[in-house]
């Protein structure tokens, strides 16, 4: 941080652990409003603003998209975001499929949140930890459109369509 190689903004020194830094949940969640999620189409998203005093109850069977309150990233180190084990023991899981960030992406990270039982969350609560890893070999900074987002990023159907065509085209 002092050398400017890592960005965590806002930075709260008391949230630093020996190998990581805690991150907090921002006040907005998104959830797919469609009854059935379809990876080939852009889903309709419902936006949820977490009430400051009472929080919001997450329910099983839904995937909630949130963001970190902090802008996090680095041009020198690769960030890895994980959920807090204390919340995991309560049945709340974060970053199930996308825990490894991209070199050069500095933004509020989209959080994939799943609850196995109903659990109340609050805006600003510590939900996970980020650690930074030194890459080896050649460095290619992230060039995608997710690298500067500050809202919960929705599904990109172009990626799913491209993958589906690749699989279909390669099968015999």
Q: Which are the catalytic amino acids?
A: 112
Q: How big, in percent rounded to 5, are the helix, strand and coil portions of the chain?
A: 15, 35, 50
- Location of structure tokens 């890459």: 135
Q: What are the structure tokens assigned to 123, written together?
A: 């805006």
Q: What are the structure tokens assigned to 10, written together?
A: 């806002």
* CA dihedral sign, ordered 79, 85, 87, 92: positive
With CA atoms as reference, report the closest residue to 114 among 154, 75, 63.
Answer: 63
Question: What is the separation, in whole angstroms, between the first and last Cα of the chain?
Answer: 52
């Amino acid at each position: 941080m002092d050398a400017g190689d890592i960005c965590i903004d806002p930075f709260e020194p008391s949230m630093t652990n020996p190998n990581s830094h805690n991150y907090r949940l921002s006040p907005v969640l998104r959830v797919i409003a469609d009854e059935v999620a379809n990876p080939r189409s852009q889903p309709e998203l419902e936006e949820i603003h977490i009430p400051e005093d009472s929080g919001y109850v997450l329910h099983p069977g839904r995937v909630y998209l949130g963001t970190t309150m902090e802008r996090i990233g680095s041009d020198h180190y690769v960030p890895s975001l994980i959920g807090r084990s204390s919340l995991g023991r309560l049945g709340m899981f974060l970053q199930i499929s996308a825990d490894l960030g991209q070199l050069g992406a500095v933004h509020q990270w989209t959080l994939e949140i799943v609850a196995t039982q109903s659990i109340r969350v609050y805006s600003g609560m510590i939900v996970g930890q980020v650690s930074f890893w030194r890459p080896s070999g050649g460095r290619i900074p992230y060039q995608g459109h997710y690298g500067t987002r500050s809202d919960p990023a929705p599904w990109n159907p172009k990626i799913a369509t491209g993958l589906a065509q690749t699989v279909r085209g390669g099968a015999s």
